[in-house]
Structure 1
Amino acid sequence: MPQWLEQWNRRLAKWLWAVVLLGLIGTLPVIYSRVQTEASAKKVEFVMDYQDLLQMSLTQPNPSAFVQAQLQSLKAAGVTAMAIYESNLTELGLSGEVTVYSASQAALLEGKLATPDDNRTYLLFNKPEDEPTLRPIVEQTFNKAGVEMSDWSVQGRSGMIINLSPEDAAARQMQPNPIEMKSLHDQGFLVVPRLSDRSVPYDDAQAADWINQFKELGVTRIIFDGDAVTGFASQAESNSLKQFANHLKEAGIGVGAIENLKVPQKGLGTLAKLLDYNVVRVHSISEAEMNAAQPTTLVDRFLLAVKDRNIRIIYLNGMAVRDSSKGQITTPVEKIGQALTGDKEENLKGTLERIQDFGFVPGEAHAFSIHKAPAEALWRALAIAGSVALIAIAIGLFIPAILLPVTLIGAIGGAATFVLQSSLLTQALALFVAIASPTVSLVLLIRWFRNKREKGGAVPSSAWGRLGGAILLYIRTSILSVFAVPFVIALLSDITYSLVLQQFRGVSLLHLAPIALVALYAVLYGYGGSVMHNLKTLLKQPITVLWVIIIAIVGAVGMYYLSRTGNSGEATGLELHLRTILEDTFGVRPRTKEFLLGHPIFLVGLFLAFRYRWALVLLVVASVGQLSMVDTFAHIHTPAYLSAIRDLLGLGIGALIGLVGIVVWQVLEALWRLYRPRPQAGR
């Protein structure tokens, strides 16, 4: 590299660090506004699927009495709302409002012989007082579909004949049962309608009528049923999502977003934007999960959903099952009560009490009030500039000669990110700065050790001196590793990330790139000599069976490591038990890969690196913990203060475990010196 270019790069590097520090300062107002937003909604709503109660009632001798008893039990346990689906003939039958007959069954009622070619649907209304409300709903549904109907009555009970097969008629969707909704409202429950997009084309007048009825019943939130929001299928022809959103806004009704669906509901992001993000995240417990889980498991699951993932609606499902051990049919209602209120006999603290310990209260869920920092555009510009500078520094550490052009290219990209406000560019910048920060911190650490050896700098020789130096480097490097955190928060501060309507991409790359980059730097730069010399030496190494075994082991460990990243990773039973202990002890669970793996190895590796050159390998492994601290904050749906506590706990507990590891090493080293074989004289 020409001397003049080297001098320019050194000066530029100092200016880039200044820009990084200025960018960090600029992120503070944005971070504060996010904390304000996250603290603006503290009520948690527990919703029971009312249709599941109706299904369970079929196993009871008196279904109606069973449903009423369960409603009272659930209300006493803290369930505040009931979810009501769009109705159909099957649901009306479950609620006891109608009875549906096939042609042969209808013939038996009339004392006639069945007609072989008759496969129509025969319907009787069971409650004369409810018929004036329900008949128009049924007639409107089938008239809209162009289906012929005629009156029918048996033994003084009125009904109708529908010119569709029973299977086809049962599949036609109607508005949610207004009689059930009013009954539940009168009993003190909030009503949460479940609407679908199955009625095509979208009928704006019908939607407006339904929403007006919801408003009269005090409905404040709906949750969608199926793979799309209401009006999505007709959006291209009639701009139906905007029409539907306008009706919801006028009624003051928001929507729920169910987390962890295999396929996100279509149109939800667009509708959320039209509603000014009047959206609440929903955590759903399926029927099978509810029946299999123990109350203690449900308590932990509910608590983690509320405090760790910004969930404000817990959606409960259930079904009746045959219990072979008891020889009877059981339902999960009692279990739900235990999970919510606790069980003194089992010394179980209930969900309601647990969430109150963290500042939450049961009640009607509300969307976050979105707070914006004053002069937010300025702070965003500083965050982008700081991110670009940190990325340029990381690249310059590997290839110093290109620092200047990389900085210029980065400046152009940062300007485009600011002007275009592209979510793709913003996410890419957040990913690159998240990779850069732990990479820079560990590369500078390896460079520090290399310079000490090459220039003969003072290195502590005593165990206490090495321990003190290791602790200082542990703290300094960890602080530098989380430089990316404020930038990630500021870049991804939009409410859509907190609501997981958009997600941070590249988690797998974030978990691999810093490890690979630090390992590459350690091999090419960490042991002295020129880069080309180290590269040639590496390429000339013979491939032995031992190397093949090592590569296979590293590959297997890497695959397992990647399988544990993100939300899809599964923990072992022992780890789940350890998580519960940590949660109960600290209230916040530090990440396992940090306090059990990365941080202890890091502190031990620093201690050994003062004496042994091979200890650089441990520093490479320790990059797992450093990058994980940044990744913790990439989970934008987790409150920022909780992520900060998690990182600090990981560092503290990891340091304690690392100190134990250093003591063990010192003992083993002393025993080795004491008992190692000594060469005999004359040999």
Structure 2
Amino acid sequence: MKRNTVLIFILVLGLIVSSMTAFERMAVESKNKTVDITIDYLELEKLAKQSGHDLQWWLEKFKDMGVRSVALNEESFETLVEAKKPIQVEMAGNVLKDLHWQENYPRVLVDYLNHGGIDEFDVVAITTSERLYHFIKDAFVHRYDLKKVKILQGDGVYVFVVDGDIKDALYTQKRTIVDREGKPFQEESVLYGSQLMRLALGLDPEKVKKIQDRGLEVLPRPYNHKGWSDKGYVNAVLEDYERLNIKPPYMVFGGKQVLGYPDALDTVKSYMEKNGIQVGLVESMVQREHIEQKGLEELTRALNYDGIRVFSVPPYIQKRFKYYNYEGAEEIENTLYRAITERNIRLIYFRPFMEDDRVYVTDVREYEKMFSRLKARIAEHGMTLGQASTMAPLKLKTVKKILMGWGIAAGTVLLLSYFTSMKNPVKYGLLGLGIMGTTSMAFVLPSWADKLLALGAAIVFPSLSMIYFCSRCRQYYENNKPHQGFLETIGIGVKDLLTTSAISFIGALFVGTVLSDIEYLLEMDIFRGVKLAQLLPIFIFCMIYMMFFGYKRDDLKGKNQGLSLDDVKRLLLDDIKVIYVLTAGILLAAGYVYIARTGHETNIQPSNLEMMGRNFLEMTLMARPRTKEFFIAFPALLVGVYAARKRYKTLMFISGIAGIIGQTSIVNTFSHLRTPMYLSMIRTAYALGFGILLGIFYLAMLKAAEKLLRSVRGEKTPWRKL
């Protein structure tokens, strides 16, 4: 401490600033406590058709459960066909392929086609319904450039020819044509349709009325089509909302672009500001960031981050009815609960439960039970259902970022000083470079500064924590007492575990505050160094272990603590035994699983048994502790202390490897920036508590096994060879 007074002072200064920022972030998160639920109209309609009740009955029931709005897509040629309306939609190219097209299609269309002026990528829509004709015609007249559509009428038949091109065309995947011997002859793909079939034609007034008559709000899903959606289109869409008396609480956009992109975003922004409408950012399928929609982030920033994160229930979650041995929709409920409490989701886009790909759960009691339980569970976090709340646009001041950067730089120099014998000029020279580098980066590359500083903190402080742990173990190893009380070992182990974890928590605090900008809380930006921050400290720990214990040193008494060239030589020139190769393979496989399971982007997921255990903890506790922390990593440090006092070097090394995984996991918990900070703290506290209890149990089992082995073999346990 005395040799590093300046480093400690700067580190503490950065820590104070980080703590102040943490309180600001938690104050913002504490006011974000209201969750809303909307339900998909199309799927609710399908549910009603399979049940013994009509749509209006289900609307009333879901309103009583807490649903406040119904999400309604605009009609299009595609939806009209799916709804079995009296309309036929074809690609012009496919019409002309029909050998008898002049006999099979209306005379008014045949005459038009015979005069040319049409290509295979145009869309042809034919209807005999006058009501449908006027609905479609009004949409084209008020929304789109009439130069792009030809409207034909004759003999009670109405035809729309929409001008398309190859950029809009949709094809089937390539299929292989084979000869009689089964040999490939050629590959071909068939013209299937056009993206123009999804051109938004407006909301169905009858559907709107059904929703509003039941006292529910309409949540329209505006759709923007590139090349068609100019300012006139946007104005027409917004005028439709006024005409239908729709005041949407949120804008949850459909398609690949937000309404008004790229030239009419200002019009949409002004409308949303005037009516207090929040923008919805729909979470991606891998539960990270949001689905990509052009103009979405630009609009969110223009609205000063007046946005909410949206969880759209995917089909595979809909089918988790009677899942994991539950009797009903408990696992679907668990999914919604996690989204709300752990991922800052404030709008649930709900879809009804399904028994399989086609059959819906039609027992209303199952929905009532699920929503009732969900409301009770989120109430434990001070949350209620209602108009979705938003977070204040928290922005980290540059001066705070700089001071925290200085603290991280001081921690980095402190870590380096343990590996090499640094004199003060070198030490303070490195510190000066770190201070200048972090300061310059905060001004020149602010977004990169956030991530690099967070990455540095995520690597440095877990590594420092293991330096503390190994230094303590070295003392226990050298000061071996002939009679060591078991309770004394437990007390020392608990103290060292808590101290080690506290050092890692400093890194977690830096990560959670350096990345506390509203863009991270809304997951418009993320911390991208998670996997590196989990792998690199493991490698650093191996160096730390060699620094304190060497490699196959027979005696540590009087040996200096530091990396030794002799240890490196022994490691590099050691005979490679088959057991070493097998062990390395096992460790590599375990490492791959460990890293792969840190996200939702791989197929390696927890087993059903583990998920049931997680669900039990989730139902019992306010926050589920991480399994690897309390089950393995934290108890391992208690075992490591026991091994050091017993001078079992191999066991000490294995315990350290497991322990560093837990220390990086502490930081990783706070790297999930969408999770409220208070919840990450509670989760870590639970993990430490359970980890201590399990650690004591493991020590008792280890001591019993040690006694049994000694009595059977008549010799000491062979842990000391590494």
TM tier relative to shorter chain:
0.7 to 0.9
User: Percentage identity across aligned positions?
Assistant: 24
**CA–CA distance in structure 1, aligned partners of residues 464 and 483 of structure 2:** 24
- How far is the alpha carbon of 1:152 from its aligned partner? 5.0
Q: Which secondary structure state, in structure 1, belongs to the residue aligned with residue 692 of structure 2? A: helix
Q: Which secondary structure state, in structure 2, belongs to the residue aligned with residue 160 of structure 1? A: strand
Q: Which secondary structure state, in structure 1, belongs to the residue aligned with residue 252 of structure 2? A: strand
Aligned residue in 1 for 2:427: 403
**CA–CA distance in structure 2, aligned partners of residues 152 and 460 of structure 1:** 105
More displaced, 516-525 or 261-270? 261-270
Do residues 625 (structure 1) and 662 (structure 2) align? yes
Q: Deviations over 1:192-222 (max 9, x none)?
A: 2212332425412331342354465221211
Q: What TM-score does the superposition give when structure 1 sets the normalisation length? A: 0.84
Aligned residue in 1 for 2:249: 220
Q: Deviations over 1:27-54 (max 9, x none)?
A: 2221112112112222211111113334
Q: Which secondary structure state, in structure 2, belongs to the residue aligned with residue 610 of structure 1? A: helix
- How far is the alpha carbon of 1:143 from its aligned partner? 4.9
- How far is the alpha carbon of 1:94 from its aligned partner? 6.2
Q: Which secondary structure state, in structure 1, belongs to the residue aligned with residue 281 of structure 2? A: strand
The answer on whether the counterparts of 1:55 and 1:319 sit within 8 Å (CA) in structure 2 is no
Aligned residue in 1 for 2:170: none
Aligned residue in 2 for 1:566: 599
Aligned residue in 1 for 2:150: 148
Counting only pairs closer than 5 Å after superposition, residues 10-49 of structure 1 correspond to structure 2 as: 13-49=4-40
Q: Which secondary structure state, in structure 2, belongs to the residue aligned with residue 430 of structure 1? A: helix
Query: How many residues are matched?
Result: 635
Q: Which secondary structure state, in structure 2, belongs to the residue aligned with residue 496 of structure 1? A: helix
Aligned residue in 2 for 1:500: 523
**CA–CA distance in structure 2, aligned partners of residues 556 and 321 of structure 1:** 36
Q: 1:78 aligns with which of 66, 77, 81?
A: 66
Q: Deviations over 1:218-244 (max 9, x none)?
A: 212111222332344xx3xx4x43443
Aligned residue in 2 for 1:490: 513
Counting only pairs closer than 5 Å after superposition, residues 568-647 of structure 1 correspond to structure 2 as: 568=601, 570-614=605-649, 615-617=651-653, 618-647=655-684
Shift in CA distance, 553/571, structure 1 to aligned 2, threshold 3 Å: same
Q: 1:481 aligns with which of 474, 499, 504?
A: 504
Shift in CA distance, 185/200, structure 1 to aligned 2, threshold 3 Å: farther
Shift in CA distance, 153/99, structure 1 to aligned 2, threshold 3 Å: farther
Structure 1 unaligned residues grouped into runs of 5+: 1-9, 106-111, 324-328
**CA–CA distance in structure 1, aligned partners of residues 221 and 336 of structure 2:** 22
Aligned residue in 2 for 1:100: 87
Letter paired with 1:136: D
More displaced, 78-87 or 131-140? 131-140
Do residues 331 (structure 1) and 322 (structure 2) align? no
Shift in CA distance, 84/546, structure 1 to aligned 2, threshold 3 Å: same
The answer on whether the counterparts of 1:226 and 1:265 sit within 8 Å (CA) in structure 2 is yes
More displaced, 577-586 or 118-127? 118-127
Q: Deviations over 1:140-181 (max 9, x none)?
A: 456535211134574xxxx73223599667443223335533
Q: Which secondary structure state, in structure 2, belongs to the residue aligned with residue 312 of structure 1? A: strand
Q: Which secondary structure state, in structure 2, belongs to the residue aligned with residue 483 of structure 1? A: helix
**CA–CA distance in structure 1, aligned partners of residues 222 and 135 of structure 2:** 20
The answer on whether the counterparts of 1:459 and 1:610 sit within 8 Å (CA) in structure 2 is no
- How far is the alpha carbon of 1:319 from its aligned partner? 8.9
**CA–CA distance in structure 2, aligned partners of residues 241 and 458 of structure 1:** 74
- How far is the alpha carbon of 1:437 from its aligned partner? 0.7
Q: What TM-score does the superposition give when structure 2 sets the normalisation length? A: 0.80
Counting only pairs closer than 5 Å after superposition, residues 444-459 of structure 1 correspond to structure 2 as: 444-451=468-475
More displaced, 282-291 or 588-597? 282-291
Pairwise CA RMSD: 3.3
- How far is the alpha carbon of 1:537 from its aligned partner? 1.5
Letter paired with 2:346: R
Aligned residue in 2 for 1:540: 573
The answer on whether the counterparts of 2:480 and 2:645 sit within 8 Å (CA) in structure 1 is no
- How far is the alpha carbon of 1:138 from its aligned partner? 4.3
Q: 2:203 aligns with which of 176, 181, 197?
A: 176
- How far is the alpha carbon of 1:306 from its aligned partner? 0.6
**CA–CA distance in structure 1, aligned partners of residues 415 and 266 of structure 2:** 46
Aligned residue in 2 for 1:6: none
The answer on whether the counterparts of 2:493 and 2:642 sit within 8 Å (CA) in structure 1 is yes
Do residues 363 (structure 1) and 363 (structure 2) align? no
**CA–CA distance in structure 2, aligned partners of residues 449 and 202 of structure 1:** 68
Structure 2 unaligned residues grouped into runs of 5+: 96-102, 114-123, 164-191, 323-328, 551-555, 717-722
Shift in CA distance, 322/522, structure 1 to aligned 2, threshold 3 Å: closer
**CA–CA distance in structure 1, aligned partners of residues 538 and 483 of structure 2:** 28
Shift in CA distance, 587/476, structure 1 to aligned 2, threshold 3 Å: same
Aligned residue in 1 for 2:687: 650
Q: Which secondary structure state, in structure 2, belongs to the residue aligned with residue 281 of structure 1? A: strand
Q: Which secondary structure state, in structure 2, belongs to the residue aligned with residue 226 of structure 1? A: coil
**CA–CA distance in structure 2, aligned partners of residues 197 and 468 of structure 1:** 64
Q: 1:513 aligns with which of 527, 532, 536?
A: 536
Aligned residue in 2 for 1:230: 259
**CA–CA distance in structure 2, aligned partners of residues 451 and 352 of structure 1:** 53
Aligned residue in 2 for 1:269: 297
